[in-house]
């Protein structure tokens, strides 16, 4: 039976700091395999920005070609928050020893983790250094030089996704494309995109083009179709494609522009 390093997290989004951790783990001879386990939902959070499926897809794109690295969908498949103790017990059925990898920023709340006293008896903790946080000697320190803002990465990732969406709509002859920044506006998505089609058949065609152009990666959580109007739910991005007549009738951009502006947001 092998010895593994279990590296879990939201990866919302994954960034160069995560990759630096995996690269450092690969060089530890005592570890036979690194298993990267994206959460369905962090037990200490009420929501994630990107869907579990999208985050799992990102992780696969980054780490699939790494030696000694395996991507596990175990927690995503549970369709709920999974405490680390449960994942550890799951993997101990197959592996003899587990190093549990955490970031130094988790040390302060570590004793609040579910069944922490039992957990620390089952694993050996490896703590990835971060921002000069002191790591107690009872833990193995993994020195990582990378320092990056996950908030900035998330913003960049969202902008890249929006650019792919608008490029797909534009190249396939959608008209009057507008993007609304709804972050921190108490709306259920972070961005909304509106585009006009040339007619009913073109509305459906634009949907099919988006499905082709945005794979792999984007997860279409829900699609509502009514011929003249299609609404596509990507989790944190909502896309409205309408015939010109329906766009005038429902005037969604007035509502969204007002919501986005609110003296602090703006339509892009």
Segment 13-52, tens digit of pLDDT:
788 788 889 999 999 999 999 999 999 998 888 777 778 8
Nearest to 200 by CA among 234, 241, 166, 165: 241
Mean local confidence (pLDDT), 1-9:
93
Q: How far apart are CA 44 and CA 15, in angstroms?
A: 20
The whole-number average pLDDT for the span 218-228 is 86
Beta partners for residue 240, in sequence order: 194, 231
Mean pLDDT of the chain: 89
User: What value does the mean pLDDT take over residues 237-250?
Assistant: 93
pLDDT of residue 13: 78
CA 54 – CA 152 distance, rounded (Å):
18
- CA 77 to chain centroid, in Å, comes to 15
pLDDT at 88: 97
CA distances 106 to 103, 111, 239, Å, are 6, 10, 36
Set out the domains of the chain in order of their start, with CATH numbers.
Answer: 3-148 (3.40.50.620), 151-261 (3.30.460.10)
**Quick one: pLDDT at residue 145?**
66
Share of the chain above pLDDT 70, in %: 93
Token pair, residue 139, equals: 């833990």
Count of residues making up the chain:
268
Helix (H) or strand (E) run with residue 95 in it: none
Please say whether the beta carbons of 141 and 216 come within 8 A.
Answer: no
pLDDT value for 116: 95
- pLDDT for 198-222, tens place per residue? 999 999 999 999 999 998 778 888 8
Res 12: pLDDT: 83
3-state secondary structure of 225: strand
Most confident of 40-44, 65-69, 227-231, 238-242: 238-242
C-alpha distances in Å from residue 80, one per residue of 35, 40, 44: 19, 6, 12
H/E stretch holding 19 reads helix 16-26
Q: How far is CA 108 from CA 105, 117, 147, 152, 194, in A?
A: 7, 15, 19, 23, 44
Q: What is the pLDDT of residue 267?
A: 38
pLDDT band at 252 (very low <50, low <70, confident <90, very high): confident
Please state the rounded mean pLDDT for residues 251-258: 88
**Bridge partner residues of 55 (DSSP):** none
The position carrying tokens 């797909």 is 168
Distance CA 246, CA 264 (A): 29
Q: Which of 48-62, 90-104, 190-204 has the lowest mean pLDDT?
A: 48-62
For residue range 120-177, what is the model confidence (pLDDT) as tens digits?
A: 999 999 999 987 789 999 999 998 865 545 555 566 678 889 999 999 999 999 999 9
Q: Are 100 and 57 a contacting pair, CB within 8 Å?
A: no
């Amino acid at each position: 039976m092998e010895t593994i390093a279990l590296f879990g997290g939201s990866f919302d989004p994954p960034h160069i700091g995560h990759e630096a951790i995996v690269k450092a783990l690969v060089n530890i001879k005592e570890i036979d395999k690194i298993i990267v386990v994206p959460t369905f939902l962090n037990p200490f959070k009420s929501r994630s920005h990107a869907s579990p499926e999208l985050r799992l897809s990102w992780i696969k794109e980054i780490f699939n070609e790494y030696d000694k690295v395996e991507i596990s969908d175990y927690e995503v498949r549970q369709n709920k928050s999974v405490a680390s103790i449960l994942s550890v017990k799951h993997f101990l059925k197959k592996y003899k020893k587990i190093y549990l990898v955490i970031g130094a920023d988790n040390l302060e709340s570590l004793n609040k983790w579910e069944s922490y006293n039992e957990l620390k008896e089952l694993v050996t903790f490896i703590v990835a250094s971060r921002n000069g946080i002191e790591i107690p000697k009872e833990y193995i320190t993994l020195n990582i030089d990378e320092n990056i803002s996950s908030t900035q990465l998330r913003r960049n990732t969202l902008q890249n996704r929006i650019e792919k969406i608008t490029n797909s709509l534009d190249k396939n002859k959608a008209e009057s494309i507008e993007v609304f920044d709804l972050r921190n506006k108490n709306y259920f998505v972070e961005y909304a995109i509106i585009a006009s089609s040339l007619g009913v058949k073109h509305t459906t065609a634009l949907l099919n083009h988006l499905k082709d152009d945005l794979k792999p990666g984007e997860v279409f959580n829900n699609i509502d179709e009514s011929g003249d109007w299609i609404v596509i739910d990507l989790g944190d991005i909502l896309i409205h494609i309408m015939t010109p007549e329906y766009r005038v009738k429902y005037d969604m951009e007035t509502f969204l522009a007002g919501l986005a502006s609110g003296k602090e947001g703006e339509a892009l």
